Structure 1
């Protein structure tokens, strides 16, 4: 449902005419040759004829001492060259959104109280309208933003956009608190993102299970999805509804683990990890593998691997027997 900020692929797409893939999808041969060049410090020009993308993406440059050789551009430099224009575009979009919000702010006060109450629940259809309403709420946010983000992998561009959004909010003095599932601890992209805010201006915690996304700005407006494809959302401005959602957030927040506290998936003396306890509870409730994986923020293959380990630990020979053994074992009676 929720994206962070819009952005384009900039000059990257122009390379597709000569070598049909983006730099974010470097071909196998290109990746192999680039890695060899980084290890050895240079590579023969003739060796890279099979991967012209390396020159198209400026990952190699001519050796100033010998034209028959090429030298690799350090990956940190190559990454910065591609992120800078994206970040500039994001900053420009953010500036425009703030200007629009400021332009319309004087008119907001003219809305009659009775009319305003009729818009306390707004149905937003389509990503453009959803994201437009989100951008406006975030631009007007002045004190605190609460977010619940079920974990999954994001494209690099979306992570950069989210980083830029959070940076601008923090610069305005806005506090940010975000809840992920425990599986977010095993996402290198997510951990690298969180490292940008290690000064305590933004707080991140994880919990074993989250149901859906939630964004709340300044105790004034909340956004929730109402369809699985996230093409329809509700914008909630009713004080009672927003206040209730804040209480739900605080309930989960107080039971969550700070991201800096280390991995929460520790093994009990019975040989069953915390995540397997969570899976066992959902299995007993009758959820299928796909639903369990979605609620715990992992892929189905990983979920089934945990189920297999759980079955092995309990000595189960079938799925039906596993549910019975979970109920008989008493493992769900322990304090979570």
Structure 2
């Protein structure tokens, strides 16, 4: 508000106070303003409470003392504040009521995911054995980095055979370098079955084993699997991990197993077949050597050559290979 407008309002207020019988036209003439300007100034004085409309007054207004105007203003503000606080209180009550239902509503959108910590390699191995024994449909595993120790190959083959006997579908991903190691290549050739498929890739993001559609085992530290693993239970999260596995699977290359011809089983002579049958029956080396009439040292060399011809690394693998080829009957 400029100074001229404020001066006009002060003069009008004083004139109405001193001359309650004047008309609005007389007031405008006295302050030398138009009738519209006088009317606008009176409206502004009404808005701040210094004038009150009065139909009996010639100018249409009566003055209100500043003290009364302030009192009325504060009373109006207090009423508005009280109304606002009541409105806020109602909103607070409505929100509090909704908050009581929110945890239940939020839980309806959540699926429980249980994460079990397996801090040592021994606990991880035991858990994997139990999970493999209880899975119903499939096991999918991804193995970046180096190969497992050679001494575990027979145990791995036994576990494979057990899962195959239960009709469990097994898919495995290895890094390409791992599959080129001789004892791993021999294991993978023996591990390939109707219900098992192995693939290799140049890069795999992390070690991961998926059992059915509700259990995943992931390393605590992807850079060092010896630090243990997490066992994740829950369909939603495991489904996402299956999607990651699918991507790696479709960008990998199948590993072709050795065929019966590769094993050259048809070239085995009667003595070699006899040794393999005894191995399959669990006969000890000294008994086999005695049966053949050779020394244990000679038997050892004989076995080394036989395993090499079959393209395997261990005697257990050799027994599986010739059983596959139907040479033990």
Answer 1 or 2: which has greater helix percent: 2
TM-score between the two structures when normalised by the length of structure 2: 0.42
TM-score between the two structures when normalised by the length of structure 1: 0.41
Higher radius of gyration, 1 or 2 = 2
Structure having greater relative contact order (Cα 8 Å, sep ≥ 6): 1
